[in-house]
Amino acid sequence: MSFEGETQSRSDTGPARGRVVLAAFWGERSASFELPRDGSVTLGRGEACELRVDHPSMSRAHARFHSGDLAQVEDLGSRNGTRIHGVPLAPGYRIPVSPGDILECGDVMLLLREVRAGSSRSGGEDADVRASRLGAELVLGTDGLWFELGTAGRVRLGRHGALRRVLVRLAEERLSRPGVGVNVDDVIRAGWPEEVMLYEAGLQRAYTTIRRLRALGLERALLTRDEGYLLDPCLSLRFDAS
């Protein structure tokens, strides 16, 4: 089964309960795959992988996901490594993962999400999209370590410093001046405050960071205006220091 930009799923006749979905983002592409309730699946660019992402930074057999009461991920000795919240995994060891965790396999970003029982995209908007449209609350952890939007689960940004700093900058602007956008130059300064780079490289990083924040669950909340980017002023927003 391959990531080709569409969502692939497996049916189950068991009792209704939350499903775990692995969403992948690389370049401007994204795809998702519903993990089985039991057993294991292999992620990589090889034809034999159940979860196939044809990207040059991926090894033919890059990582393996083990399902069950406790989901786990294992790096398979990949060339470019597997990281959770920026921390590299030692090959051959199984590490527990939970919905909201962000992983990286080479240059491919992965997010584990739980789709709660009874929700369905085929019958209309899912819960977090409906919540966003209706003006749900966006909650950010200290220093942008995590965020929650509406009824969607917590997304932990961990050591992804640029994502965290840009999100915090957007949130601070939203609280101080609702409806005012953050221009791309300010996005670059927020994301990489100490780094000297070519302006074109900074623009690419800024655009990629905004795309990734949207892909991680903020698509309906993170708007684009002529003056820049902003969090929807109709959305309730607060920081949570707990």
Q: Which of 54, 82, 115 is the last residue of a domain?
A: 115
Higher pLDDT, 131 or 51: 51
- pTM beyond 0.85: no
* Cβ-proximal residues to 127 (8 Å cutoff; 6+ apart), any chain: 116, 119, 150, 151, 152
Residues 85 and 173 in one domain: no
- Answer yes or no: is 122 within a domain: no
C-alpha dihedral (220, 225, 228, 231), degrees to nearest 10: -30
Residue 87: Cβ within 10 Å count = 11
| Domain span holding position 91 | 7-115
For residues 13 and 141, the model is more confident at: 141
Q: What is the pLDDT of residue 18?
A: 65
Q: Is 198 contained in some domain?
A: yes
Q: Are residues 105 and 157 in the same domain?
A: no
Clarify whether residues 180 and 147 are in a common domain: yes
Residues 26 and 56 in one domain: yes
Q: How many domains does the chain have?
A: 2
On whether residue 1 sits in a domain, the answer given is: no
Residue 135's pLDDT band (cuts 50, 70, 90): low
Residues 34 and 104 in one domain: yes
What percentage of residues in the chain have a pLDDT greater than 90? Answer: 47
- Report the pLDDT value the prediction gives residue 145, as an integer from 0 to 100: 92
Most confident of 24-28, 29-33, 136-140, 156-160: 136-140
pLDDT-based confidence at residue 24 (cuts at 50, 70, 90)? confident
Q: What is the average pLDDT value for the chain, to the nearest integer? A: 83
- Please tell me whether residues 11 and 106 are part of one structural domain: yes
Band (48; pLDDT cuts 50, 70, 90): very high
pLDDT of residue 73: 95
Kindly report, residue by residue over 151-174, the tens digit of the pLDDT: 778 898 887 899 999 999 999 999
Q: Does 120 map to a domain?
A: no
Position 76 in a domain: yes
Residues 104 and 155 in one domain: no
Of 115, 136, 170, the one marking the end of a domain is 115
28 vs 199, residue with greater confidence: 199
Asked whether residue 17 carries a pLDDT value surpassing 80, the answer given is: no
Of 230, 222, 235, 236, nearest in space to 179 by CA: 230
Give the CA radius of gyration of the chain: 18
3-state secondary structure 22-72: EEEEECCEEEEEECCCCEEEEEECCCCCCEECCCCCCCCCCEEEEECCCCE
Token digits of residue 16: 């209704």
Q: Does a structural domain hold residue 71?
A: yes
Domain presence at residue 57: yes
172 in the same domain as 74: no
Same domain, yes or no, for 22 and 101? yes
Q: Are residues 205 and 228 in the same domain?
A: yes
Tens digits of residue pLDDT in 77-132: 999 999 987 789 999 999 999 888 889 999 898 988 877 655 444 444 444 444 44
For residue range 205-235, list pLDDT tens digits in order.
Answer: 999 899 889 888 898 899 998 889 999 988 8
Residue 2 within any structural domain of the chain: no
Q: 135 and 106: one domain?
A: no
pLDDT value at residue 117: 57
- CATH code where residue 50 lies: 2.60.200.20
Q: 164 with 218, same domain?
A: yes
- Which CATH number belongs to the domain containing residue 210 in this structure? 1.10.10.10
pLDDT of residue 29: 76
Domain end position, chosen among 64, 89, 115: 115
